[in-house]
Amino acid sequence: MVSGERAHVYVSGQVQGVFFRDSARDKAEQLGLTGWVRNLPDGRVEMLFEGPSEKVREMARWCKEGPSRAEVESVDSEFETPRGDLAAFEVR
């Protein structure tokens, strides 16, 4: 069994075109997390990441702020058991 935690996060607000995905990748790599981030057609950003629980929770808190140009209105997070099927953190 893989230890740690996995989070599936949707971020709403002014979060596209403000370097949210690149900043998320940088933060995730800094924290040693694996996963991915992508823009959704409805204007939200979707992320899936996993790693040590405390690092996953720190990343989830970061999503509430995002990069300096972002205006985050809401964050919906679901925490799950990690699967260990993510090799790196990528922008999709």
- List residues with catalytic annotation: 21, 39
Q: Residue 65: how many CB atoms within 10 A of its CB?
A: 11
State the maximum Cα–Cα separation within the chain, in Å, rounded to a whole number. Answer: 39
Question: What are the distances in angstroms from CA 9 to CA 1, 26, 63?
Answer: 23, 17, 8
Write out the two tokens for 35.
Answer: 């996963």
End-to-end CA distance of the chain: give it in Å, rounded.
27
